[in-house]
Amino acid sequence: MKYDVLLIGAGPGGIFAAYELVKKKKGLKVAVFEAGHCLEKRLCPIDGEKVKACIHCKSCSIMQGFGGAGAFSDGKYNITNDFGGTLYEHIGRKKALDLMNYVDSINLSHGGEGTKLYSTAGTDFKKKCMQNRLHLLDASVRHLGTDINYVVLEKLYAELKDKVDFFFDTKVEKIEVLDADKEKHTDEDTFEEKINAASYRVYFSGDAKKHIIEGYADGRVCVISVGRSGSKWMEGVSKDLKLKTLSNRVDIGVRVELPAEIFSDITDELYEGKIVYRTQLYEDKVRTFCMNPHGIVVSENTNGIVTVNGHSFEDENKKTGNTNFALLVAKHFTAPFKDSNGYGESIARLSNMLGGGVIVQRLGDLERGRRTNQKRIDESFVRPTLKATPGDLSLVLPKRILDSIIEMLHALDKVAPGTANEDTLIYGVEVKFYNMEVVLDENLETDYRNLFCIGDGSGVTHSLSHASASGVYVADIIADRL
């Protein structure tokens, strides 16, 4: 099977790359290989009744499949260079913002019209934060909501399915560089030399083998967009192809749940406030992440480890009386330690070991040094939206991280009184794994000509809007070259 472009992964990065490729260059032969299911087959078996905990499906429907990790997400597209990745370091601030706005316009024209765009700039709340040693980051936030996000994905798929060959339940196992002359070509090379510089073969397992009997497909260009769930795979590919990589960081923390009224000043105006705090005790940075007004707390599975996350809905009927958000502490490691994700996983494993999954604790109990039990949860004024195991997070999280989180809760209490109430619920562990960063140039291209790496799998992006923008960016370059 011969293609112009082989795309690995159908998350936002892969989808927007495919969208832009076929829009810019009609008739281009594009194949998308996706380890997870097509959108309608993505169904997590945890129903809270028959299946209460993760049963480790072959492909995780929360993290994998058409729409990637973002499919059942809250669909918050943060249009900013302040967080969500470092795409701007490669392509420039203006270009990055332009592309994020372009992605926003596509989302709007595919079902997202009517959704709200929030902005943090110049708000009273920003001033209040500054007065209390908190720093509110600037962003425009398009909130699609889990329900509309799904509709947008449905529409994008409907538009793409006849123009692009999608192979679902198909994991790419290996990438082979076919051309011996695989090094990057210089500006002096002719157009033909550049375009024929390298071609790629991907070997896969799974469903596509029914259609492509050889078990491989060839392409002139290959775009890797494997996201977070592909992080281990990406490490293997980097070793195989000797791609240069940089070691990275892991963010560890908890998810906080409290009555929605406490944060309503912030969430009504901004929907989500990204707030950074530097602790007095250690001068560590703690930040809020993924705020879900009137949302629910959920568990998620990354590489077999159950961690906590949050969702919210546009649909009024699905809204709850609680708001949740994460508080995360960034850990950067230096030599000789390289396995920052392994460190995060070990901490999450501890909570899985003690609680069988996610642990929940009242802040009052945490500060008193006592375990929360079911009775204390039942007596609490805050009703948990996730059925987690009541326990003691001080047995799970390192002291420094826990101290920092508690200190930030008290700082937040000054701008949103009630945050540090005894009944505030703390769920653990929330871990934000970062992929190791692949060294890429200003085209998001590896040392191999026409081998691109985009989205969260590249380590450059960590968000829907940055990942999607990186897809559009490389698609434009490829369309020009082809």
Ligand X SMILES: Cc1cc2nc3c(=O)[nH]c(=O)nc-3n(C[C@H](O)[C@H](O)[C@H](O)COP(=O)(O)OP(=O)(O)OC[C@H]3O[C@@H](n4cnc5c(N)ncnc54)[C@H](O)[C@@H]3O)c2cc1C
| Binding residues vs ligand X (CB under 6 A) | 8-14, 33-36, 63-65, 68-70, 73-76, 78, 84, 171-172, 225-230, 233, 290, 300, 309, 455-457, 462-465, 467
- Is-cis flag, bond preceding 429, omega within 30? yes
3-state helix, strand, coil in the chain (%, to 5): 35, 25, 40
- Is-cis flag, bond preceding 12, omega within 30? no
- Tokens of residue 393, six digits: 């997070």
Residue 233 CB, shortest distance to ligand X, in Å, is: 5
The SS3 assignment for 166 reads strand
Phi-psi region of 53 (alpha: psi -120 to 50; beta: other; left: phi over 0): beta
Q: Whose CA is closest to 459, among 309, 312, 243, 285?
A: 243
Q: DSSP secondary-structure letter at 186? A: P
Q: Is 313:295 a contact under the CB 8 Å cutoff?
A: yes
Question: Which three-class secondary structure string do you get for 56-76?
Answer: CCCCCCCCCCCCHHHCCCCCE
Residues across the chain: 482
- Tokens of residue 251, six digits: 């963010």
- In this structure, the number of other CB atoms found within 10 A of the CB of residue 429 comes to 27
Residue 129 CB, shortest distance to ligand X, in Å, is: 21
Distance between CA 421 and CA 428 in Å, rounded? 18
Residue 329 CB, shortest distance to ligand X, in Å, is: 19
Residue 69 or 382 having the CB closest to ligand X = 69
Residue 225 or 267 having the CB closest to ligand X = 225
- In this structure, the number of other CB atoms found within 10 A of the CB of residue 255 comes to 28
Residue 212 CB, shortest distance to ligand X, in Å, is: 14
Residue 71 or 262 having the CB closest to ligand X = 71
Q: Whose CA is closest to 21, among 452, 469, 475, 481?
A: 475
Residue 130 CB, shortest distance to ligand X, in Å, is: 25
Residue 7 or 377 having the CB closest to ligand X = 7
Distance between CA 149 and CA 42 in Å, rounded? 14
Residue 141 or 197 having the CB closest to ligand X = 141
Instruction: Compute CA distances 139 → 81, 121, 211, 224, 364, whole Å.
Output: 8, 7, 45, 28, 33
Residue 15 or 28 having the CB closest to ligand X = 15
Residue 390 or 455 having the CB closest to ligand X = 455
Residue 384 or 457 having the CB closest to ligand X = 457
Residue 346 CB, shortest distance to ligand X, in Å, is: 20
Residue 176 CB, shortest distance to ligand X, in Å, is: 14
The SS3 assignment for 29 reads coil
The SS3 assignment for 274 reads coil
Residue 75 CB, shortest distance to ligand X, in Å, is: 6
Q: Is 345:307 a contact under the CB 8 Å cutoff?
A: no
Residue 68 CB, shortest distance to ligand X, in Å, is: 2
Residue 103 or 366 having the CB closest to ligand X = 103
Residue 309 or 385 having the CB closest to ligand X = 309
Phi-psi region of 418 (alpha: psi -120 to 50; beta: other; left: phi over 0): left
Q: Which residue has the tokens 């709200």?
A: 116
Residue 291 CB, shortest distance to ligand X, in Å, is: 9
- In this structure, the number of other CB atoms found within 10 A of the CB of residue 365 comes to 23
Residue 180 CB, shortest distance to ligand X, in Å, is: 25
Residue 471 CB, shortest distance to ligand X, in Å, is: 7
Residue 308 or 402 having the CB closest to ligand X = 308
Residue 19 or 406 having the CB closest to ligand X = 19
Q: Whose CA is closest to 74, among 141, 158, 154, 155?
A: 141
